[in-house]
Amino acid sequence: MRINRYISQSGLCSRREADRLIEEGAVFLNGNKAELGDVVNEGDEVTVNGRPLDVSRKHLYFALNKPKGIVCTLSEKEENNLYKCIDIRGFITYAGRLDKDSEGLLILTNDGDLINSLMTGGRGHEKEYVVTVAGSLDDSVTGEMQKGVWLPEIRRKTLPCRAWISGENEFHIVLTQGINRQIRRMCKVFGLKVKKLERIRIENIRLGELKPGNIRKLGAGEIKELRKRAGCEQ
């Protein structure tokens, strides 16, 4: 198994993040500084920042309702980190971030394959949001959003999506890509100021009645369906 996948399987981070750690010299394989492309065999020891990894630990899966103001990080250097909401220590991380001003559903897990799949662009996983804006809306805005929107700040056009009005100043949008601050950038194009942005679904996992700051374990059926949709090995 390649070392970046081994690190991801431990639940520490995605493969891309694992590559970054390797390049920074934070990863050692059997006491030697690891290199990109190294292969981990049975009985080998991998450490990250001096801490041994173990891919044999039981996989954990949680849904968290992230409140506004909490930063998607487990680094305790950030005062408003996710540990303000969760009491889980060890190798577990989020699969798909939300910015500080957004709220709603986060999936927390140590399933490296799932993390990698959900955080890799181009996989087409659905994420649904409820957006409240200042002022009223009309169908022309959501209609244009569905076609894809040119974002001048990053010179990129968003992919076609589903969007529909659900209130005078509220709409739902379902994305299959993960451009940074995508919805806020899309709204800005139409002169809309976002007052509230809440993620309510990732594929089959729904926020439901989970209160802000609360966490729940995912059920076996939810996990099986999510991994299936993510293309993870069963």
pLDDT digits (tens, 9 = 90+) for 199-233: 999 999 999 999 999 999 999 999 999 999 988 85
- CA dist 181 → 6, 120, 189, 214 (Å): 30, 16, 13, 24
Is the confidence at residue 114, as pLDDT, over 60? yes
Quote the pTM value. 0.80
Lowest mean per-residue pLDDT among 71-80, 138-147, 175-184: 71-80
Looking only at the bridges linking them, the beta strands covering 51-52 and 46-48 are: antiparallel
Q: Answer whether 166's CB lies under 8 Å from 102's CB.
A: no
Give the catalytic positions in this structure.
99
Token pair listed for 191: 């002169």
All domains in the chain, ordered by first residue: 3-52 (3.10.290.10), 61-121+215-230 (3.30.70.580), 127-202 (3.30.2350.10)
> Strand pairing partners for 63?
107, 216
Q: Please give the pLDDT value at position 63.
A: 95
Burial label, 234 (beta-carbon count in 10 A; 0-12, 13-18, 19+): exposed
Looking only at the bridges linking them, the beta strands covering 61-66 and 215-217 are: antiparallel
Q: Answer whether 175's CB lies under 8 Å from 126's CB.
A: yes
Coil vs helix vs strand at 172:
strand
